Amino acid sequence: MAETDSAPGDPERGREPDIAMWGASGSGKTAFLAALSIALNKSRDAGWRLIGENPVSRTELAKLRNTLLQARTFPAPTEALTYYSWMIIGPPETRRRWWWPWTALPAKAPKIKLDFLDLRGDLYAESESNIDKQALITSLVKSRGLLYMFDPDREARVGDAFKHLDAALHEVAGRMLVGDEYEDGKLPHYIAVCITKYDDPRVLRIAMEEGFTERDPGDELRIPQVPPDRVRDFFRLLCQESYDHNTETILDLIEAFFHKDRIRYFVTSSVGLFIDEELGRFDPDDFLNVIDNAGGGLTIRGAIRPMNVMEPVIWLGSMLRPGAIRNRPWNG
Amino acid sequence: MERLTAHWAILGKTPESLDDYGVIRCSTGAITNAEFGMWLKAFTSGTMEPKALPRVATSYFTAGPGGEPWLGLSLQREPDSQDGFHRPYAMTYYVCVRWADLVAGGSRVSYRALYEALAGQDFSGDAPFLLSPAAYDERRLAAQVNPTARRAAALLLTGRPVCVVRAGHLSPDRRLDFLDAVAALLPYGFRHTLAVSTWTNSASLHRIRLSFAEVPPTHGTWELPWESDERPASYPSEALAYEKELERYQGDDLGDLVGWLGTLVEPGDFGDASHRAAATRLLRGEVWARGGRSAVHPPRPSVEQLLRQCRESIANADERRLGELTTLLAERARGRVTDQDRRTYRVFVRANPIRPPERLGASAVLCDFFEVLLRLLYAARMRAVDVEEMLVDLGVPHRPGAAPPAAVLAAMGRLLPSSAPSGRLLIAHLRGPEHLHTVLATMSEDELCDVAVRSRNRKVLEIVLDEADRRALPSDPRGMEAVRYALARHRYLIEAISSVHAAEESVLRYREVLQVGHRRDLTGADIKEILADLDSPPRTFLLAMMTLCAPGTAPALLQTMAGGTMRELSLTGSPVADDVRAGIDRMFSRDGGGRAARYRRSAGLRRLGPASTPGKVLAAASVVMVVAALALWLWP
């Protein structure tokens, strides 16, 4: 019997993602990751940083940042299963002993280690015989956090979100729920459902017209936001607006397979809305931050202000690494 | 190369499309659109980066009910359009051929040949292409091989992928040539499962086994810096062995090796350790695991290549490697080596001096090497001239006291018994007085003179004369006699001395010979004895004799010289001979009687009165002048 070594590309090579990206092609998975570092830097709770854990991840992080900040465009469509080993480091927190609270211990920075799996969106819809699909499903089974990207713009035009979610979800469930390990019949993952491209006029208009938006009195820019408790309903509405009627069932599908308390909904935008510097606040007539350029591609027009990009990641991180981060306002 | 049927596909998008990457056009027949799509995506190198384009990659897959193996090559070009999401996309052009077609017949196809054949197609219609790739050019492939390529080939045989880094300055063309060269350093059958790419993204999970990348993947891949001497950490012995085997081949030898490896088409699987081990054994000329002993063996590296590697091993004090190479060199030395070969090798060694570091000293391995080297470079029976050439070849400085390295001396000692006498003498001399004395003690006076005459070597002559001088002691009449007779029998070493010394040196050297042989001023009897058997002695020899002649021996010298000349001219017994003798007598007579008077009478000359003192002086001067003139005339 010949001894056989692992082939190149074998997923069993020592890397297992904590968090897998899930979403159709063009739904903004890679752009979301590219914006994560910027979002952390710009967060109100200053001092957050994103670093690569190894040279590969550092290089990729730099490339993604440069794509947004320097080239002022979006990453190219992902073509292969791609791993990023990143770490989020927060501002140092002062600690005290419960039994002697008058003396502070040396400050300690919270650290969340996050391994992301990015992939080409169409892989979710491939047949099970596809060798990359097998690797993807294996990774999903071994991961415990999911960032599910739902692109309302794409759904309105293509409508393939259900197809991408349904097939892969059943395969993962088939692998995980057949045995006795999960007796409640639910997948053990935490899933952050992210409605992407909030800066897209179609999405923002629905949110505003359907009354899902509110203004945060503390926000000087007066950007309309969807309150956390209304995001789920907004998501359901967007699913109903889809090109594909099956999309309506996505929310039910998610809640059928995952514990409700392990699902959280976010409205996100990787680049945020355009704010005229002279006006200094949101202008409903001039908020497009992504415009066509002369070459037919897309260009980011103004400052990049990621919306709800950091929050789902921090939430997943705190769920997957309990104790790494103490309670914070965005941590519920 | 015969024409190859190639199926093809284009992976990409159409402008403004909302679809994902897919096969937008392909040939019909053996492979379906879905199969093309799956395999093209399966062998992606990572998310497209404009700076990495154009990208060339190879892939392999099986298709059809029988799992027929195929080999493919793709070219991904720079993007020039955007999809419906305003994102640029790149088109990938792909051809694939049946493995069976690729290895049928005698010729092979390189990646470059396949790439150029692909680049010449227009990818229209739906019929497979008929490609006419260029013939497998092993010389060109060998020319692309560098140390990085050797190491990459060796590392691939560990079963882990290899990622070449710090090569951002290389063009895609150069990268493709490198990948081709690496593949060419492995049995051709391994291309059956070899996927290579001019670029990969290390964050991506890909199936590329050999590629270039900006940074290496974190796990499970060999990081190979471009043109770096630094070996990877924990470099496996099997890889080292393969790399060392490859290093034995350079230039034309390497071309021969690449050509030979191209004939080994049995499919090899990088994932199978037994296949990988078989490749190493094959290169060593050992048993091929599948099917008993191999009928084929790798081309042997040339002697020059072996010498070059030996030189490197010596410089690095790598005794283990030197031992292996010496074994190979010894095999070559045992084979037929022509004089022309020996000259070629000597020129090589002279141009590439071998200078052992001091720390090697006279290690047994180094001595073995030099012994083999000397056997290879010089005839089996080393002569003095060989030894002297060897000193030049090995770069021993030409100055007094300069000696070859200890290991060379030791090797020479081993060769001493089989060497010619002259070679023995020189070798022993180089090894030191004790060794020389040992050798000289075994040689008779005759043998000494014989080797001096035969070798016609200045150093040998010097050794022989020193030894003769030592043996011909006045206190040892028998020794003197033996030396004198030996010198006489060997014509006083005239042939040796005349061939290695110029005029003045010759006179001095002949005088030395005569002194050793006689240990006194030459008497008339000595002169007759010396010149008796010498026909036409060189003028320098006669001058040397003159420097040693005892008083009153001029007539004897003149008469002996005249006698010798007459014998040589066959005038002995003729009237002329008588006249000459009479003339000589007259020259040396003190009165006018006797023959002189008769001469004068026959000549009709008037009788001269008794000579006055000035007359006597004049006569004596005339005699000297006549003798000198005669001597000069007699010189050949």
> What pLDDT band is residue B215 in, cutting at 50, 70 and 90?
very high
Residue A288, in any domain of the structure: yes
Q: What is the mean pLDDT of each run of 10 residues along chain A (332 residues)?
A: 39 57 83 90 76 90 91 87 84 78 78 78 72 79 89 87 86 89 90 94 93 89 93 93 85 93 95 91 91 85 92 87 53 39
Give a yes or no: residue A320 inside a domain: yes
Q: Which residue of A has its CA nearest to B61?
A: A131
Question: Per residue in B392-433, pLDDT tens?
Answer: 777 776 666 667 788 888 888 888 777 888 888 888 888 888
H-assigned helices in A199-248? 201-209, 228-240
Confidence of residue B116 (pLDDT cuts 50, 70, 90): very high
The residue of chain A nearest to residue B220, with distances taken between CA atoms, is A13
Which residues in chain A touch residue B206, judged by CB atoms under 8 angstroms apart? 8-9, 80
* Integer Cα distance of A51 and A54 in angstroms: 9
**Does residue A54 form part of some domain?**
no
For residue A3, which residues of chain B lie inside 8 Å, CB to CB? 272-274
Taken as a whole, chain A contains a residue count of 332
Tokens 């995952």: give the residue: A258
SS3 state of residue B226: coil
In this prediction, residue A132 carries a pLDDT of: 74
pLDDT at residue number B525 = 85
| ipTM of this predicted structure | 0.81
Nearest CA in chain A to B44: A80
Q: Which of A56, A196, A300 to mutate to test the interface with B (most CBs of B within 10 A)?
A: A56
Greatest alpha-carbon pair distance for chain A in Å reads 74
Contact A226, A213 (CB under 8 A): yes
- Rounded to an integer, what distance in angstroms lies between the CA atom of residue A202 and that of residue A152? 8
Q: Indicate the pLDDT class of residue B224, thresholds 50, 70 and 90.
A: very high
Contact (CB<8Å) B217/A56: yes
Distance from C-alpha of A303 to C-alpha of A76, rounded to nearest angstrom: 21
User: How many structural domains does chain B have?
Assistant: 4
Rounded CA-CA distance B338/A32 in Å is 75
In a domain, A139, yes or no: yes
Q: Tell me if A286 is assigned to some domain.
A: yes
Q: Do B201 and A154 touch (CB under 8 A)?
A: no
Residue B475 in any domain: the answer is no
β-pairing verdict for A190-195 and A145-150: parallel
Both B16 and B119 in a single domain? yes
Does residue B608 have a pLDDT over 50?
no
| In-domain check, residue B310 | no
Helix (H, G, I), strand (E, B) or coil at A204: helix
Indicate if B111 and B149 belong to the same structural domain.
no
DSSP output for A23-76: E-TTSSHHHHHHHHHHHHHH-SS---EEEESSHHHHHHHHHHHHHHHTS-S-PP
Task: Tell me, yes or no, whether A314 lies in a domain.
Answer: yes
Short-list A32, A19, A314, A307, CA closest to A149: A32
Query: What percentage of chain B exceeds 90 in pLDDT?
Result: 27
By the 10 Å C-beta count (0-12 exposed, 13-18 middle, 19+ buried), B353 is classed as exposed
State residue B604's pLDDT score.
Answer: 46
Question: CA-CA distance, A80 to A123, in Å (whole number)?
Answer: 9
Work out the percent of chain B whose per-residue pLDDT is above 70: 92
Asked if B220 lies within 8 A of A297 by C-beta distance, the reply is no
CA pair distance A81, A8, nearest whole angstrom: 13
Indicate if the pLDDT at residue B385 is higher than 60. yes
- How many other β-carbons are positioned within 10 Å of the β-carbon of residue B391? 18
Average the pLDDT over each of A104-108, A159-163, B25-29, B203-207 and give the range with the smallest value: A104-108
Per-residue pLDDT at A12: 39
Mean pLDDT of the region B161-190: 96
Q: Quick check: is B529 in a domain? A: no
Same domain, B201 and B225: yes
Per-residue model confidence (pLDDT) at position A168: 83
C-alpha distances in Å from residue B357, one per residue of A250, B244, B313 = 77, 22, 11
* Total structural domains within chain A: 1
Task: Supply the mean pLDDT for chain B.
Answer: 85
Which is nearest to B73 in space by CA: B50, B55, B89, B91? B55
Q: What is the DSSP letter of B549?
A: B
Between B108 and A265, the higher pLDDT residue: A265
| Cα–Cα distance for residue pair A47/A52, rounded to 1 Å | 16
Residue B491 lies in a domain: no
Q: Are residues B110 and B209 in the same domain?
A: no
Q: Are residues B339 and B371 in the same domain?
A: yes
Q: Give residue B605's domain range.
A: 553-636
Which amino acid is residue B265, in one-letter code? V
Same domain, B262 and B180: yes
Q: Which residue of B has its CA nearest to A84?
A: B203
**Using CB atoms, which residue from B46, B81, B271 is nearest to A82?**
B46
Between chains, do A8 and B87 touch, taking CB under 8 Å as contact?
no
Residues ≥6 apart with Cβ < 8 Å to B212: B163, B164, B165, B167, B170, B175, B197, B198, B199, B200
Mark which of B118, B136, B154 sits at the end of a domain.
B136
Give the residue on B whose Cα is nearest the Cα of A25: B20
Decide: B192 and B267 in contact? Cβ < 8 Å. Answer: yes
B615, pLDDT greater than 70: no
Residue B38 near chain A (CB below 8 Å): yes
- Work out the pLDDT band at B127, boundaries 50, 70, 90: very high
| pLDDT value, residue A10 | 43
Interchain pair A3, B272: CB under 8 A: yes
In the 8-state DSSP scheme, what is residue A269? Answer: B
Whether chain A has a CB inside 8 Å of the CB on B16: the answer is no
With CB atoms and an 8 Å threshold, state whether B85 touches A3. no
The tokens describing A210, both together, are 């359907």
- In a domain, residue B457? The reply is no
Residues 61-90 of chain B whose Cβ lies under 8 A from any Cβ of chain A: 81-89
Burial of residue B490 (CB within 10 Å: 0-12, 13-18, 19+) is buried
Question: Where is pLDDT greater, at B323 or B251?
Answer: B323
Which of A12-21, A175-184, B230-239, B323-332 is predicted least confidently? A12-21
Distance of alpha carbon B307 from the chain centroid? 6
Q: Which residues of B touch A121 (CB under 8 A)?
A: 20
Do residues B123 and B150 share a domain?
no
Please state, in angstroms and rounded to a whole number, the distance separating the CA atoms of residues A270 and A256: 29
Same domain (yes/no): B622, B595: yes
Task: Give me the pLDDT at residue A329, please.
Answer: 44
Q: Give B590's pLDDT tier (boundaries 50, 70, 90).
A: low
Domain of residue A256 covers: 19-24+116-331
- CA distance linking residue B436 with residue B425, whole number of Å: 7
Domain identity same for B127 and B148: no
Please indicate whether residue B75 or residue B496 has the higher confidence score (pLDDT): B75
Contact A48, A40 (CB under 8 A): yes
| B343 vs B327: CA distance, rounded Å | 21
Mutate to test the interface with A, among B35, B74, B81, B85 (most CBs of A within 10 A): B85
For residue A11, what pLDDT is reported? 38
DSSP, collapsed to helix, strand or coil, labels residue A291 as: strand
Q: How confident is the model at residue B259 (pLDDT cuts 50, 70, 90)?
A: very high
Band (B622; pLDDT cuts 50, 70, 90): confident
Q: Is the peptide bond between B54 and the residue preceding it cis, with omega within 30 degrees of 0?
A: yes
CB burial readout B185-197, b (16+ within 10 A) else e: bbbbbbbbbbbbb
Poorest-pLDDT segment among B479-488, B505-514, B558-567: B558-567
Check if B160 contacts A (Cβ < 8 Å): yes
Torsions phi, psi of B452, nearest 5?
-65, -45
B345 is a domain residue: yes
Confidence check: pLDDT of B139 > 80: yes
In a domain, A228, yes or no: yes
- On whether the CB atoms of residues A111 and A88 are closer than 8 A, the answer is yes
Of residues B421, B404, B505, the one with CA closest to residue B455: B421
Q: Are residues B91 and B204 in the same domain?
A: no
pLDDT score of A297? 82
Of A185, A177, A181, A237, nearest in space to A207 by CA: A237
Closest CA to A283 of A213, A241, A222: A222
The 3-class SS string of A122-152 reads HHHHCCCCCHHHHHHHHHHHHCCEEEEEECH
Which of A271, A273, A272, A269 has the alpha carbon at shortest distance from A312?
A269
Q: What is the mean pLDDT of residues B609-615?
A: 55
Q: In this model, does residue B635 exceed pLDDT 70?
A: no
Structure tokens at A163: 């197809």
B166 reaches A (C-beta below 8 A): no
